[in-house]
Amino acid sequence: MSNGTVATVLLIGKKLLTEMVAHALQEYPLEACGLLAGTVGEAGHAEVASVQATGNAARSARVYEVEPKAMLRADREAEASGRQLIGVYHSHTHTDARPSPTDIGQAPDPDWHYVLVSLRDVHPSVRSWNIRDGKIEEEPVVLQW
């Protein structure tokens, strides 16, 4: 599904970023989650083309689990549009937008982008991470207008 490289930058449109934050606020106090579809370019930049809000099968304020049927549906929709799943987003309701030990341990794909929406402060914050072999590295999020 991926070219095997870790993107250096995550490019996302303002509307899609707003959709993620709105979903996180709507699901509060539970963690919200969803999938990112898009493309990974030769320069290592990943561009988010669509955001698919999914249910949190864990129904928890502390962990998330993307509903399997929603994952399958999002994967098929991405493929049909010439894209691929490039990552997942979820919210942290009371902590920073940094992967927790649980997030790191459950990261399903080392080539994915793990976007976190923190609702800890008055203004939500969004950060993106690469998780590979239990190590995390933050990547810049570039907002596209």
Distance CA 69, CA 79 (A): 15
At residue 13, the pLDDT reads 97
Give pTM, 2 decimals.
0.92
Specify the CATH number of the domain 9-144.
3.40.140.10
At residue 43, the pLDDT reads 73
At residue 45, the pLDDT reads 87
Domain residues of the chain, as ranges?
9-144
pLDDT in tens, 80-113: 999 999 999 999 999 999 999 999 999 989 999 9
Residues 6+ apart with CB under 8 A from 97: 116, 117, 118, 125, 126, 127
37 in Cβ contact with 50 (< 8 Å): yes
